[in-house]
C-alpha cells in the first residue's frame, strides 16, 4: 500500500508542475502580461489559431486530475493510518506477564510486598532556648 501511495504522490507532483506550466503558457485576456512573457507566443505557434481552446481544455483536465488524485491520496492515508492503529503500531514483546498485586486487591498487595524497614529521615538539632534570647 505504501508503494502505491508513493507512486501516486509522484504522479501528483508531476501533474502539479504540468498544471503550473500550462497556466503560465496561456495568454491573458488582454494579450499581454505573464502569459505572453512565459511562452504564450510559442504555444500559439505550436497549436495554431485554436490555442486558447486547447490550453483551456488541458488546464481543466489537469485541474480535475489534480483534485481527484489529491482526494484519493487523502483517503489512502486515512486507510493506512487506520490499518496501523488496528494492527498494532507498537510491536508486542513476548514474555510471561504476572498480574499486578494491586489488581487482585489490597490483601494480595500486603502479601506480595515484603516488609522493608525504611530508615527515618535525620532530624536537624534544635537550638538551645538560651541562644534564641538576646539581652
Domain boundaries, the chain: 2-86
**Per residue in 87-114, is it b (16+ CB within 10 Å) or e — as a string?**
eeeeeeeeeeeeeeeeeeeeeeeeeeee
Instruction: Tell me the pLDDT band of 63, cut-offs 50, 70 and 90.
Output: very high
Q: What is the pLDDT of residues 68-80, one digit of tens each?
A: 999 999 999 999 8
- Residue 61: what pLDDT? 94
Distance between CA atoms of residues 93 and 113, nearest Å: 26
Task: Return the percentage of the chain with pLDDT > 90, whole number.
Answer: 31
Q: Is the pLDDT of residue 19 over 90?
A: yes
Average pLDDT, stretch 48-60? 79
Helix (H) or strand (E) holding 8: helix 2-25
Q: Is the pLDDT of residue 36 over 90?
A: no
Distance between CA atoms of residues 69 and 11, nearest Å: 8
| Torsion of the alpha carbons at 77, 78, 82 and 88, rounded to the nearest 10 | 30
Is the pTM of the predicted complex or chain greater than 0.95? no
Average pLDDT, stretch 6-24? 94
The secondary structure of the chain in percent helix, strand, coil, rounded to multiples of 5, reads 70, 0, 30
- Contact present, 69 and 61 (Cβ < 8 Å): no
Amino acid at each position: 500500500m505504501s508503494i502505491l501511495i508513493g507512486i501516486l504522490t509522484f504522479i501528483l507532483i508531476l501533474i502539479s508542475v504540468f498544471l503550473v506550466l500550462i497556466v503560465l503558457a496561456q495568454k491573458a485576456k488582454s494579450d499581454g502580461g505573464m502569459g505572453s512573457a512565459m511562452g504564450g507566443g510559442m504555444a500559439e505557434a505550436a497549436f495554431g489559431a485554436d490555442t486558447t481552446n486547447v490550453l483551456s481544455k488541458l488546464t481543466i483536465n489537469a485541474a480535475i486530475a489534480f483534485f481527484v488524485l489529491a482526494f484519493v491520496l487523502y483517503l489512502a492515508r486515512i486507510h493506512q493510518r487506520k490499518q496501523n492503529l488496528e494492527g498494532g503500531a507498537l510491536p508486542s514483546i513476548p514474555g510471561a506477564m504476572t498480574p499486578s498485586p494491586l489488581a487482585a486487591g489490597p490483601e494480595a498487595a500486603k502479601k506480595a510486598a515484603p516488609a522493608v524497614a525504611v530508615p527515618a529521615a535525620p532530624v536537624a538539632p534544635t537550638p538551645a532556648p538560651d541562644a534564641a534570647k538576646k539581652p
